[in-house]
């Protein structure tokens, strides 16, 4: 952890956000956690359920963290029942002590041979044989079959859960801002540390060393680096190449540093040792114009169709996209998920923006032959009056002149 990074964070975060970072186990307030538990109680009553099971495994299934504060490790299965304290069964046994400290108002026990079977035993101790159970999370076939054998009916609540995450609380935006600042810091670390002869693996190293000292982890850091005059990449890669970086290259990246399940998302383009050539200038001008066109209409009352229509400049400029153009964010890859006319992303949802939504606007403008592309964009917040960015990195193509 460098003193420079500490200074940058303190300058970009509020005192309350800085205090959150410095907690041993960062926690939401009791009021916020109880707000979340109210969703559980509402769904139990609405669907006439005996229990709700929330499941996660191998670092997937953010509902576990949302309702308890415990980020999923190997496996976690939580049983919620009205008028009972939740029970969370975790794998492995050695994960129980820390989960017990972190999980909010939850009894934690070892999952033993099978977390799902241990969770079912907890249900049986609460009464009804073959209960009606709602499920949230990525329940795989094996655990699903075990649950199916011990219930009268399983109700999928994943859509209800996703919808509940679309409107964020003020506390959630505090944490999203932390994730955004750490994501910015990660991108700045790439600009500062990149050297001729590095490869995309090195860029990932620069990203992670920027946020690890502050308790964050990796959600994504995707890179695409190619030669401007002979490009072979139009969208950031999910797995880095070992190709050496040299003068005349152009790179684009998508970075999300994750702070206890809350992350920003910063998308930018940079050149190495030279200014962008005419093609990349045109691509980025279109990306910036598309970003501005969408941002101009992001406000309460705007529809998903309005956002889609604001992207017409892409085709008018003779380009298209590869990545999704816009998506909801914070707690999942949320609606509205939109492409453009030349590369739609499925049916346009019947959705109207509301205050408290978080979105990512990310024009990945590419040539029609899919050989060249740029990316720009970031996570934004829909407010009562319009839209504000969660990020502080200046837009535009950033030129790097490394040694």
Q: Distance (Å, rounded) from C-alpha 370 to C-alpha 319?
A: 10
Q: Distance (Å, rounded) from C-alpha 137 to C-alpha 290?
A: 35
The structural domains of the chain, ordered by start, are 30-164 (3.40.350.10), 170-400 (3.90.230.10)
Q: Is the pLDDT of residue 208 over 80?
A: yes
Write out pLDDT tens, residues 147-165: 999 999 999 999 999 999 9
Going by pLDDT thresholds of 50, 70 and 90, the confidence category of residue 128 is confident
Supply the mean pLDDT for the chain.
96
To 10 degrees, the CA torsion angle through 270, 273, 276, 279?
-100
Question: For residue 4, what pLDDT is reported?
Answer: 79
Q: Is the pLDDT of residue 3 over 80?
A: no
Q: Is the pLDDT of residue 176 over 60?
A: yes
Q: Is the pLDDT of residue 216 over 70?
A: yes
Question: For residue 153, what pLDDT is reported?
Answer: 97
Alpha helices in 47-157 (DSSP H): 63-68, 96-102, 115-125, 141-149
Write out pLDDT tens, residues 28-50: 999 999 999 999 999 999 999 99
Sorted by sequence, the CB contacts under 8 Å of residue 18 that are 6+ apart come out as 9, 10
- Residue written as token pair 């600042």: 181
b/e sequence 273-302, b meaning 16+ C-beta within 10 Å: eeebeebbebbbbbbbbbbebbbebbbbeb
Q: Is the pLDDT of residue 197 over 70?
A: yes
The percentage of the chain sitting over the pLDDT mark of 90, rounded to a whole number, equals 96
DSSP 137-190: S---HHHHHHHHHT-SEEEE-HHHHHHHTSSPPHHHHHHHHHHHHHHHHHHHHH
Going by pLDDT thresholds of 50, 70 and 90, the confidence category of residue 239 is very high
Write out pLDDT tens, residues 384-394: 999 999 999 99
Cα 268 to Cα 101, 142, 177, 222: the distances in Å are 39, 41, 18, 11
Mean pLDDT within 290-319: 98
Q: Distance (Å, rounded) from C-alpha 48 to C-alpha 29?
A: 29
Mean pLDDT within 246-262: 97
Q: Distance (Å, rounded) from C-alpha 154 to C-alpha 49?
A: 9
DSSP-derived 3-state class of residue 403: coil
Answer yes or no: are the C-beta atoms of 12 and 392 closer than 8 Å.
yes
Q: Tell me the two tokens of residue 55.
A: 């499941």
Cis, bond preceding 336 (omega within 30 deg of 0): yes
Question: For residue 5, what pLDDT is reported?
Answer: 84
Question: For residue 401, what pLDDT is reported?
Answer: 96
Answer yes or no: are the C-beta atoms of 265 and 360 closer than 8 Å.
yes
List phi, psi (to 5°) of 150.
Answer: -115, 15
Question: For residue 127, what pLDDT is reported?
Answer: 81
Q: Is the pLDDT of residue 265 over 80?
A: yes
Mean pLDDT within 313-336: 97
Cis, bond preceding 92 (omega within 30 deg of 0): yes
Question: For residue 2, what pLDDT is reported?
Answer: 63
Q: Is the pLDDT of residue 298 over 60?
A: yes
Q: Is the pLDDT of residue 1 over 60?
A: no
Write out pLDDT tens, residues 6-28: 898 999 999 999 999 999 999 99
Backbone CA torsion sign across 277, 283, 287, 292: positive
Mean pLDDT within 326-330: 98
């Amino acid at each position: 952890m460098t003193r420079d990074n500490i200074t940058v964070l303190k300058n970009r975060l509020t005192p309350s956000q800085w205090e959150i970072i410095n907690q041993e186990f960062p926690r939401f307030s009791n009021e916020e956690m109880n707000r979340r538990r109210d969703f559980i109680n509402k769904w139990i009553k609405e669907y006439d359920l005996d229990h709700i099971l929330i499941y996660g495994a191998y670092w997937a299934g953010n509902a576990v963290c949302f309702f308890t504060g415990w980020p999923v490790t190997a496996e976690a299965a939580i049983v919620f029942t009205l008028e009972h304290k939740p029970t969370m069964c975790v794998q492995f046994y050695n994960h129980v002590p820390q989960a017990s400290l972190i999980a909010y108002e939850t009894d934690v026990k070892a999952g033993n041979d099978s977390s799902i079977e241990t969770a079912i035993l907890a249900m049986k101790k609460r009464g009804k044989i073959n209960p009606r159970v709602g499920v949230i999370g990525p329940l795989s076939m094996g655990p699903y079959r075990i649950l199916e054998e011990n219930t009268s009916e399983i109700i999928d609540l994943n859509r209800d859960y996703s919808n509940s995450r679309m409107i964020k609380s003020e506390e959630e935006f505090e944490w999203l801002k932390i994730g955004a600042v750490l994501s910015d810091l990660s991108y700045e670390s790439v600009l500062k540390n990149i050297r001729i002869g590095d490869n995309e693996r090195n860029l990932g190293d620069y990203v992670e060393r920027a946020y690890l000292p502050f308790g964050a982890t990796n959600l994504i850091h995707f890179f695409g680096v190619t030669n401007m005059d002979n490009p072979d990449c139009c969208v950031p890669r999910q797995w880095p190449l070992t190709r050496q970086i040299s003068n005349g290259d152009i790179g684009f990246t998508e970075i999300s540093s994750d702070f206890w399940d809350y992350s920003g998302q910063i998308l930018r383009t940079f050149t190495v040792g030279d200014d962008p050539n005419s093609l990349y200038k045109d691509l980025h001008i279109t990306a910036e114009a598309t970003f501005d066109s969408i941002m101009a209409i992001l406000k309460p009352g705007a529809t998903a169709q309005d956002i889609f229509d604001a992207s017409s400049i892409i085709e008018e400029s003779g380009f298209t996209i590869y990545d999704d153009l816009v998506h909801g964010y914070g707690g999942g890859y949320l609606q509205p998920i939109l492409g453009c006319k030349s590369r739609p992303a499925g049916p346009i949802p019947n959705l109207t923006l509301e205050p408290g939504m978080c979105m990512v606007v990310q024009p990945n403008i590419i040539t029609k032959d899919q050989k060249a592309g740029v990316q720009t964009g970031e996570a934004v917040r829909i407010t009562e009056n319009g839209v504000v960015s969660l990020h502080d990195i200046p837009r535009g193509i950033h030129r790097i002149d490394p040694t």
